[in-house]
Each structure stands twice: as C-alpha cells, then as structure tokens.
Amino acid sequence: MHNNHSSHVFRVAAALVACTVLASCTYRLKDPPSSGIRYYKSLGSVQCTGGGKSIGELEQELLVAGITIAQTTCGDDGNMHAAVCGAPDGRIGIFEIDPAQAKDASILGFAPLSTLPAAAEVPCKEQ
C-alpha cells in the first residue's frame, strides 16, 4: 500500500511539473511580437572623411516631430559602394517606430527598412 501511495504522489508531482513547463512554453509563444515598424535613414557619411549626421541627430529629428521611438540602432544599407574617398559609405540609422507614425517619418525622409533587403545592423561608430 505504501508503494502505491508513493507512486501516486510521484505521478501527481510529475504532472504538475509537466503542466508548469507547458504553461510557460505556451506563455512564451503568446508573447506578442514587437508592434513597431523599422524605418531607416542614411547618415549621409562618406568614405575616408565620414561626416554626415550622427545616429543621435537622426533620432532627434524623429523626436522633434513627435514620433515615438521604441528602439534605435545603426546599420549598413547592404548595397555595393565604390571604394572611393568621398563616395557614400552605406551607414544608416535604424529606428523602430509606431506604424501609425510611419507617414510622418516618411515626410522626414525616413523609409521602411524592408525596402533594403540586404541591410544589416552594425555597431554604432563614434563620429
């Protein structure tokens, strides 16, 4: 009889652990994806001399226009650029914004990151 009771307790404990694990997996699967949309703008920097705007200056353009930024990062447009001093270097600023503010960002010259399929995030450099 003692063995039956131990077996029953073990099965209940195992079931509780399984339910907990499954519940946590289900919770993670239901986490909503980011509701923002990623937009970019060229920093306007060129090879050899840099220049252009900083990521902070582009961020400020959006904030002054009342656009909420969920995330900011740097990137490369993924396009081929001639290796010539003074030619564009492909550096971009990437900003996650509310889809409802996309039109306002477009007016400021920002474009959907989806239009640059080869773009990649890169570490931000000091200017």
What share of the chain has pLDDT > 90, as a percent? 67
Determine the pLDDT at residue 37: 94
- Residue spans of the domains in the chain: they are 1-31, 37-122
Residue 3 has pLDDT above 60, yes or no: no
pLDDT at 2 over 60: no
Question: Coil, strand or helix: which one is 59?
Answer: helix
Pairing of strands 37-42, 91-97: antiparallel
DSSP calls for 7-44: HHHHHHHHHHHHHHHHHHHHHHHHSPPP--EEEEEE--
Structure tokens at 127: 């200017």
**Alpha carbons 41 and 30: distance in angstroms, whole number:** 32
Question: Nearest 5°: phi and psi at 123?
Answer: -60, 145
Q: From CA 105, how far away is CA 120, in angstroms rounded?
A: 20
**Contact status, residue 87 vs residue 81, Cβ threshold 8 Å:** yes
Position 21 scores a pLDDT of 35
Give the global pTM.
Answer: 0.71
